[in-house]
Structure 1
Amino acid sequence: MTTTYAALLRGINVGGGKRVPMAELRTVLTELGHTGIATYLQSGNAVFRSDEDDEGALAAALEQALHQRFGFTVDCLVRDAGYLAAVVGACPFPAAELEGKQLHVTYFDRTVDAERFAGLEAESFLPEEFRLGNRCLYLYAPDGLGRSKLAVELTRPRRVKGLTATTRNWNTVAKLVELTRS
């Protein structure tokens, strides 16, 4: 059975570092045998179809292919269309009332328990707030991610050690759901 997925690449095409042109990302995905490939923005978002049903195996194969092609490591998460839609549906914040830059989702490679964020004094960051979801974290940052003090605290090494994580603003989250439905 063919499933539609989104690949979320971490840390590419920002600053002068790891450059992965989207045309080459599409080529890599094609060479891996995937179909229906589309990319969104330059920040490492791709939608594709595959007969493989293991998100971890898909991510590992993509990471390996990108390393072979570009010579550097790119952490990748792969999530199926149903999961992406469920993340949108479970959003604990009023997404329809917010600007896309105010709401973000950090996707994790595995389930993250609340203990990881124990000791964080959430009240001191208000009006910024976060909530954990299914292998994700929702962040409300009314002044945007770039000005968010809570985002800095949430990504401190002691909180994300051992995790693969990548963040997308709500506009991108919603667009990926739309693209996986196409």
Structure 2
Amino acid sequence: MTTYALLLRGINVSGHRKVPMAELRALLEELGHGDVRTYLQSGNAVFTTDDDAPEDTLAAAIEDAIERRFGFRCDCLVRDGAYLAAVAGACPFPAAELEGKQLHAVYYSAPVTPDRFAAVDAEAHHPESFALGDRVLYLYTPDGLGRSKLAEAVLRPSLNKGVVATARNWNTVRRLVEMTAAG
């Protein structure tokens, strides 16, 4: 039995693309997953499964089920607890010293390389900063994501063409690590 986190992209924002968490839990259970729990209303779930399908296959099945149930397609990423713990452990920023809103993990559906972000002048955004990891971009925004010009630059659709990207603040990163470890 493996414990996974499900990260949905772009749901429950300003009353659009609504996915009630109780219905998401029911949908995951209908797909045969167990110990289903959700975190916040922004599209985070944890579940267990003995299905040894690749994460992308699990995500595609959930995307199809969401489209059938809610009438719209929603990008999903599925990551196991070991990966989430490794991402948190490899953070190049002093996560323990920062507020959760100051640090984010942008999870990607595939590896991203520095060339993708070569056009971003990181120095122009100082003290904001970013670093790449294993299918993740760590984003330090001292004043929060909403005011960040660097976040705006690295999350531009043109820089993220061909991959699914979804961001979580560090409080959520930590909580998903805890939830998948307890799974």
Structure 1 residue 81: deviation in Å? 0.4
SS in 2 for 1:112: coil
State which drifts further: 127-136 or 50-59: 50-59
CA deviations on 1:107-143 (whole Å, 9 max, x unpaired) are 0000001110012111000000000010000000000
Q: Distance in 1 between matches of 2:27 and 2:143?
A: 36
Which structure 2 residue ranges, 5 or more long, are not aligned?
Answer: none
Amino acid at match of 1:24: E
Q: Distance in 2 between matches of 1:98 and 1:71?
A: 39
Give yes or no for the alignment of 1:27 onto 2:23: no
2:151 aligns to what?
151
SS in 1 for 2:12: coil
CA deviations on 1:58-106 (whole Å, 9 max, x unpaired) are 1000000000000001100000000000000000000000000000000
Structure 1 residue 151: deviation in Å? 0.4
What fraction of aligned residue pairs are identical, expressed as a percent? 65
1:163 aligns to what?
163
Amino acid at match of 1:137: L
Give yes or no for the alignment of 1:59 onto 2:59: yes
Q: Distance in 2 between matches of 1:20 and 1:119?
A: 35
TM-score (norm 1): 0.98
1:98 aligns to what?
98
1:36 aligns to what?
35
Cα RMSD of the aligned pairs, angstroms, is 0.6
2:172 aligns to what?
172
TM-score (norm 2): 0.98
SS in 2 for 1:8: strand
1:78 aligns to what?
78
Deviating above 6 A after TM superposition, structure 1's stretches of 4 or more consecutive aligned residues are none
1:11 aligns to what?
10
Q: Distance in 2 between matches of 1:9 and 1:83?
A: 17
Q: Distance in 2 between matches of 1:23 and 1:100?
A: 26
Amino acid at match of 2:136: C
Amino acid at match of 2:33: H
State which drifts further: 127-136 or 49-58: 49-58
